[in-house]
Chains A and B, each alone.
Chain A
Amino acid sequence: MLRKLSNFSLPKITLWRTIVALIMVAGLYATYARFAMGFARATHLTDAQPWGLWVGIGTLCGVGLSAGGFAIAAAVYLLGFERYRPVLRASVLVSFLGYSSVIAGMMYELGLPWRIWHPIVMWNRASMLFEISWCVMLYSTVLALEFSPALVEKIPWTGVRNWYLKWHHEILIGLVMAGVVLSSLHQSFLGGLYLLTKGKLDPLWYSPNLTTLFYLSAIPAGLAVTIMALYLSIRSLDVKLDPKILSEVSRVIAPLLAIYGIFRVVDLAKNEALPYLFMWREETLSFWLEVALLVIAPIVLLSIDKVRNDPQRLYWTCAVIVGGFMTNRVDVSVTGLQRSSGVYYVPQWTEFAATLMVMTLAALVFRYAVIYLDILPKNTAKMPPRFRWAMKGAAAEA
């Protein structure tokens, strides 16, 4: 007993812990500002720019960057790419946490968040947002179920555990298929939201094919996020994973981005938006930044063996893709609407703080899930003793 007490010490103050603490303090203040003082005090949103950072980053990027889960699940279960199986659970978890963050972000974004359940009983089949809300509800459930064995296998009662895992195995393929269909629908429909902004959204982004464009860009960006999460797990969570698997996943990204890039160019030509590519405007600069980060740079970088086969370089390449993807979503939701709205929207710091807090919490949950659950193979030898208890149990049976 005494020895246990003497082992107890306050957490050490490190750089990362300080950053997390600061984000949490700022985020908690933003939460207070949003719910105790209202939109006018917590955001720079106006009638002319009614959707800002919380939709542009929180929802559009949150959902888009969580597309890795359905892609990897489909690759393993439906296409039989067994070589991706070791990273399956991690990518499903990343997606699940992504969707959880989106739902948490909705609490800030909605004016009347306690009515978030209304779409379940109040239907409007003509609304893009209605379809999205149903898809997100259903797909979050699918992700939770896909991930559930990682928790259930820690239950000490063998009977319950085996019953659940057996039942889960029966419906798993159905879940994965439903996941692919639901994801395909709502990833596209997020772009579909902006079909109604015809005449308002800049010609560089408005297109009748916004749905397809959003879908095509979400899959490579989602895979890039998965690679980033895996790299960080290897680096700092003592995960024992062959780095080759990262370059395996990255192999798919370049062709997907190329398809997206070609589609984008053809689409711009079809919409007669090509002249806008060479105008000295903020929109055009933003467009080129987006295309450089999301399409040109990654395709060049990923064609270099030295980049693909070096986990750290690959990590930074994926970060570029994610940056490009976020630029695209912000362009559609903010930059491209600026001219018609006549308002130059810059988010208030509390908007950033709330979003950062939600993202940080998701990252923390991921970290502890990887440590305590069987998400990724680990080097048990190097594990701190307090983590070892979690390594026993049903791990071997899984």
Chain B
Amino acid sequence: MERTRAILVDITKCIGCRSCEQACKQAHGFPTASEAKLSPTNLTVIEEHGEKFVRRLCNHCQEPACASACLVGALKKTSLGPVTYDGSKCIGCRYCLVACPFSVPRYEWSKLVPYVKKCDMCSARQVKGQPPACVEACPTGASTVGWRDEILDEAERRILGGGYVKHIYGSDEAGGTSVFFISDVPFEKLGFPAPPKQSMPVLTANALGDVPTVVLVGGSLLSGLYWITQRREAVARAEGNVAYPRPRFTANDDDEKRS
């Protein structure tokens, strides 16, 4: 498998300076006023939980629910790792918002031509070998970027060094992501969602896999039923029994036929 990029967020190192928010806004050309929550113009956010600063952004799942949900394939897992959104395909059904196990994508509710907005891990920058704007701006190294396997090793090394909760958030959440979090406070106390620890697209893949079976088995079953019905009718006709006459639409049908 190709190597993919991943981000590690070390919550113990975050000082809440919001440089990542600002860098993200500048990189995407959004107004720079600070916002308290994820929004269509705020694709990453620092949330305060007690004394801790928790960064939220798209987790860039290895097998994204949003990409499997999107009926026109506007959302894609790129070979480099980021999950990107192609606005020119989007029809605005918002199934991606429903499907996302982390409730990350935002919608431009107040626009007349609304699109979905979410972090794209600065896909265009990464293709050119540059780090995502947020990572580049982080002054404390709370956010770092690298190859996914190396980033996972680094997270493990820090946890083994002590002082951390023994779990890398993102290692198995929703089947594994490309954004990892490590923390000295349990994740559930920091408002992290607890999505299923399995690949999400599998949930619908089974049912969708039944389509050919339904078409083939259903089709032949119905044909069989029709054949039996036909045969039964033919027999009835041969024996001179017609149980049900065809419907008459008007009271005058008979008169019209007679005349």
Q: Do A and B come from one complex?
A: yes
- A51-B98, A118-B72 are contacts. A79–B218 as well, Cβ < 8 Å? no
The interface residues of chain A, by DSSP majority, are classed as helix
The residue in chain A whose Cβ has the minimal distance to the Cβ of B76 is: A124
Interface hits, A41-79 → B, CB 8 Å: 41, 43, 45-48, 50-51, 74, 77-79
Interface hits, A323-368 → B, CB 8 Å: 341
What is the CB-to-nearest-CB distance from B100 to chain A, in angstroms, rounded to a whole number?
9
B203 engages A196 (CB within 8 Å): yes
- A192-B207, A196-B200 are contacts. A374–B249 as well, Cβ < 8 Å? yes
Q: Compute how far the CA of A199 lies from the CA of B97 in the bound complex, rounded to whole angstroms.
A: 14
A112 engages B103 (CB within 8 Å): no
B250 engages A378 (CB within 8 Å): yes
- The answer to whether the Cβ of B27 comes within 8 Å of any Cβ in the partner chain is no
A38 engages B114 (CB within 8 Å): yes
- The answer to whether the Cβ of A233 comes within 8 Å of any Cβ in the partner chain is no
Q: Compute how far the CA of A48 lies from the CA of B97 in the bound complex, rounded to whole angstroms.
A: 8
The residue in chain B whose Cβ has the minimal distance to the Cβ of A120 is: B72
B68 engages A127 (CB within 8 Å): yes
B110 engages A38 (CB within 8 Å): yes
B107 engages A111 (CB within 8 Å): yes
Q: How many residues of A contact B (CB 8 A)?
A: 75
What is the CB-to-nearest-CB distance from B209 to chain A, in angstroms, rounded to a whole number?
10
Q: Which of B89, B94, B215, B225 is in CB contact (< 8 Å) with A118?
A: B89
What is the CB-to-nearest-CB distance from A341 to chain B, in angstroms, rounded to a whole number?
7
- A78-B225, A124-B72, A378-B249 are contacts. A195–B89 as well, Cβ < 8 Å? no
A38 engages B203 (CB within 8 Å): no
B103 engages A341 (CB within 8 Å): yes
A197 engages B72 (CB within 8 Å): no
B207 engages A391 (CB within 8 Å): no
**A187-202 vs B, Cβ < 8 Å mask (1 yes, 0 no):** 0110011011111100
- The answer to whether the Cβ of A123 comes within 8 Å of any Cβ in the partner chain is yes
- The answer to whether the Cβ of A147 comes within 8 Å of any Cβ in the partner chain is no
Q: Which of B110, B226, B252 is in CB contact (< 8 Å) with A380?
A: B252
- The answer to whether the Cβ of B122 comes within 8 Å of any Cβ in the partner chain is no
A112 engages B208 (CB within 8 Å): no
| Interface size band for B | 35 or more
The residue in chain A whose Cβ has the minimal distance to the Cβ of B218 is: A181
Interface hits, A7-51 → B, CB 8 Å: 35-41, 43, 45-48, 50-51
- The answer to whether the Cβ of A80 comes within 8 Å of any Cβ in the partner chain is yes
Contacts of A240 in B (CB 8 A): 251
Q: Compute how far the CA of A68 lies from the CA of B215 in the bound complex, rounded to whole angstroms.
A: 20
- The answer to whether the Cβ of A381 comes within 8 Å of any Cβ in the partner chain is yes
- A185-B214, A377-B249 are contacts. A396–B101 as well, Cβ < 8 Å? no
**B210-247 vs A, Cβ < 8 Å mask (1 yes, 0 no):** 01001100110011011001001100000000011011
In the complex, 9 of the A-B residue pairs with CB atoms within 8 angstroms, ordered by the A residue number, are: A47-B107, A127-B204, A128-B204, A131-B208, A192-B204, A195-B203, A199-B193, A199-B195, A211-B207
B101 engages A128 (CB within 8 Å): no
- A181-B215, A374-B249 are contacts. A188–B207 as well, Cβ < 8 Å? yes
Interface stretch, picked from A81-89, A253-261, A270-278, A299-307, is A81-89
